[in-house]
Amino acid sequence: MEQNAGPNVGSLRGFSVIDSIKTQLESICKQTVSCADILTVAARDSVVALGGPSWTVPLGRRDSTTASASLANSDLPGPGSSRSQLEAAFLKKNLNTVDMVALSGAHTIGKAQCSNFRNRIYGGDTNINTAFATSLKANCPQSGGNSNLANLDTTTPNAFDNAYYTNLLSQKGLLHSDQVLFNNDTTDNTVRNFASNAAAFSSAFTTAMIKMGNIAPLTGTQGQIRLSCSKVNS
């Protein structure tokens, strides 16, 4: 459901990688490793592969037997979110403001669709670098091209580093919800800290990822070990 929720629709990729891992695990160790654990470990290993920090992933999660489109839509903050909306959405999951700013730093990699930043580059926001906005317009016209992609971090798009925050200092956040983190507001100092201190970002990010990976996990006899990650066992 999460991949089809409003903030994510048409933009999440890589599910074939998870399916491939699951298939290989099932052939060796049937119905033992959950999709939830695979996703959590894959997230960590992806960060490490791109030069980011590592952390210990607690294991033993089980998979849900239900999925909720309405919960995904209500709980996932969208690209037009304000700072206060982001804070509220993360706090709902017991993640504090520093966790929120640190986890937003995952936008040091990945891409966003034109439809999610069009308003920002065509006058909807004033807190955007003019040259940066102009550079994005070629691939994101005022009409059409909704699914055209742009890098969330234009400086080092394929490296997991703290450039996301230095981009924000220059008003080069791609999404409205990125730039609100540095906009004469309460999160400005945290952004400045992460921009100038890569170790501080890495430490806060790993702490927040561990906390996020421990949000209401199903364990023991709860849930199930899915045979296919895209659907509940029949």
| DSSP per-residue letters across 189-233 | HHHHHHHH-HHHHHHHHHHHHHHHHTSS-B-TTSSB--SBTTB--
| Residue 12 clears pLDDT 80, i.e. is over it | no
Question: Quick one: what percent of the chain has pLDDT higher than 70?
Answer: 95
Taken in order 85, 109, 58, 66, is the CA torsion positive or negative? positive
Taken in order 40, 93, 118, 135, is the CA torsion positive or negative? negative
2 labeled binding residue: yes
Q: For residue 224, which amino acid is it?
A: Q
Using 50, 70 and 90 to split pLDDT, how confident is the model at 74? confident
108 labeled binding residue: yes
pLDDT for residue 5: 44
What mean pLDDT do residues 180-204 have? Answer: 98
Helix (H, G, I), strand (E, B) or coil at 13: coil
23 labeled binding residue: no
Cα–Cα distance, 135 to 163 (Å, whole number): 18
33 bridge partner residues: none
Length of the chain measured in residues: 234
71-108 core/surface letters (b: 16 or more CB in 10 A; e: else):
ebbeeebbbbbebeebbebbeeeebebbbbbbbbbbbb
What mean pLDDT do residues 149-163 have? Answer: 97
Cα–Cα distance, 214 to 211 (Å, whole number): 5
176 labeled binding residue: no
Q: How far apart are the first and last CA of the chain?
A: 18
> pLDDT digits over 39-73, tens only?
999 999 999 999 999 999 999 999 999 988 888 88
Domain residue extents for the chain? 2-77, 83-87+89-212
Using 50, 70 and 90 to split pLDDT, how confident is the model at 9? low
| Residue 174 clears pLDDT 90, i.e. is over it | yes
In CATH, the number for domain 2-77 is 1.10.520.10
Inter-CA distances, 97 with 19, 65, 87, 195, Å:
33, 31, 6, 16
pLDDT for residue 11: 52
In CATH, the number for domain 83-87+89-212 is 1.10.420.10
| Residue 136 clears pLDDT 70, i.e. is over it | yes
153 labeled binding residue: yes
156 labeled binding residue: yes
Give the residue from 77, 72, 71 showing the smallest Cα distance to 177: 77
| Residue 76 clears pLDDT 80, i.e. is over it | yes
> pLDDT digits over 83-110, tens only?
999 999 999 999 999 999 999 999 999 9
What mean pLDDT do residues 165-193 have? Answer: 98
219 labeled binding residue: no
Q: Is the pTM of this model over 0.85?
A: yes
